[in-house]
Amino acid sequence: MGKYVIKRLLIAIPTFFGITVLVYIVSSLAPGSPLDLLLQDPFITAAEIERKRIEYGLDQHVIIQYIRWLGELLQGNLGFSYRTHLPVWGMIVERLGPTLVLTFSATIFSVLVAVPLGIMAAYKPYSLWDYASSGLSFIGSATPNFFAGLILIYFFAVRLNILPIGGMYDTSGIRTLPMLVKHLILPAAVLSIQQVGRLIRQTRGSMLEVLSEDYIRTARATGLRENLVLVRHALRNALIPIVTELGLMIPFLIGGAVVTEQIFGWPGLGSLMVLSITQRDYPVIMGITVFVAVAVLIGNIVTDLIYSAIDPRIRNR
């Protein structure tokens, strides 16, 4: 088990450096330079710009520039925002909480809805029940977030007026948990719609496959009741591909969060990202990109660990 974890971590290191190289290349290809801001000053002299260029290290070779950037990055220094002149790292930390609340609650909600639906569909395949949940799954995975968001806002916030239209708390300045939950319902629902769709399909598929395995027949032949066969023998085996699917969904979840946060004015990393892109705030864009990439990396490692906790064949490898 320990060996497995170490192996996973060792693989993550070169991946991390690969990510930083990509982020650096892409952002240096993008138009504009940090000096553009200085050019807005009508009294600036060419000598002064040259002095700044040397101060920023822009006269150096691109590889030197990258290494310096990476060195700062490894010390937790992501630079300063062009827009607010605040440290990027602090801006990310401030926005992280709301994004985590949103993505985690959406994931938990999807699992709680989709896994039971998928199991029931697999238990009675080609029944009305199966068709209903398959239908739901197709609609779910085919509905774009922005569309689902607009529909839900229209019905629940505008027509029925039972849920807020956006934001994380109201403007009164008081912050309570019930208020947070009320604001969370719609964005979390929107973010989980596609997840629910994919998860229902994955659960149904892996459950159907597991139910035709020999050890299920063995379990039935011992006189175990069908519901116990499902829970004790089938579910845990079926969970293995479901966990994999959840891991694969992390990038989509983050992408979905960007759109969802924008629609609902949710004060998370996603809406900061959109704002920074429209303002060409490169340090923030780069910071968030590296941060998210590392989060995905960690998410994959956690997925692998859960996976190996479920499946002893992987653990002993």
Partner 1 sequence: MANTLLEVNNLQVQFSTIDSTVTAVDGVSFSVNKGETLGVVGESGCGKSVTSMAILRLLGKTGKITQGEILFEGQDILKKSESDMCQIRGKEIAMIFQDSMTGLNPVMTIGKQLIGTITVHEKMNKKTAEKKAIDMLKKVGIPSPEQRMNEYPHQLSGGMRQRVMIAMALSCNPSLLIADEPTTALDVTIQAQIIELMKDLKKTSEAAIIIITHDLGVVAEMADRIMVMYSGQVVEYADARSIFINPLHPYTRGLLSSIPRLDKDVDVLYAIKGSVPSLQNVPKGCRFCERCQDAMEICKNKPPVLCTVGDCSVRCWKYTK
Binding site for partner 1 (CB under 8 A): 213-215, 217-226, 232-233, 236-237, 240, 310-313, 316
Compute the least distance from the CB of residue 241 to partner 1, in Å.
13
**118, β-bridge pairs:** none
CB of 209 to partner 1, least distance (A): 13
Q: How far is the CB of 202 from partner 1 (least distance, A)?
A: 18
CA angle 276, 281, 284 (to 5 degrees): 75
What's the rounded Cα separation, in Å, for the pair 101 and 99?
5
The span from the CA of 307 to the CA of 295, in Å, is 18
> Can you give the length of the chain in residues?
317
If you ran DSSP here, which 8-state letter would residue 232 be given? I
Shortest CB 239 distance to partner 1, Å: 9
| Cα(262)–Cα(221) distance, integer angstroms | 55
- What is the 3-state composition of the chain as percent helix, strand, coil, each rounded to the nearest 5? 80, 0, 20
CB-wise, 266 or 307, nearer to partner 1? 307
CB 45 within 8 A of CB 57: no
- Please state, in angstroms and rounded to a whole number, the distance separating the CA atoms of residues 198 and 249: 9
Report how far residue 202's alpha carbon sits from residue 196's, in angstroms, rounded to the nearest whole number: 10
Pull the structure tokens for residue 29: 């290809």
Angle among Cα 171, 175, 176 to the nearest 5 degrees reads 130
Shortest Å distance, C-beta 223 to partner 1: 3
The nearest distance, CB 111 to partner 1, in angstroms, is: 19
CA distances from 142 to 15, 103, 110, 194, 262 (A): 31, 20, 16, 7, 20
Please, which residue, 51 or 217, has the CB nearer to partner 1?
Answer: 217
Q: For partner 1, give the closer residue by CB, 219 or 273.
A: 219
Shortest distance, CB of residue 317 to partner 1, whole angstroms? 10
Is the separation of the CB atoms in 140 and 197 below 8 Å?
A: yes
* DSSP annotation of 230: I
Q: Which is nearer to partner 1, 12 or 224 (CB)?
A: 224
Nearer to partner 1, 145 or 206 (CB): 206
The packing angle between helices 128-142 and 88-123, to 10°, is: 160
**Cβ distance to partner 1 smaller for residue 192 or 203:** 203
The CB-of-135 to partner 1 minimum distance in angstroms stands at: 21
Nearer to partner 1, 59 or 213 (CB): 213
Residue with Cβ nearer partner 1 (161 or 227):
227
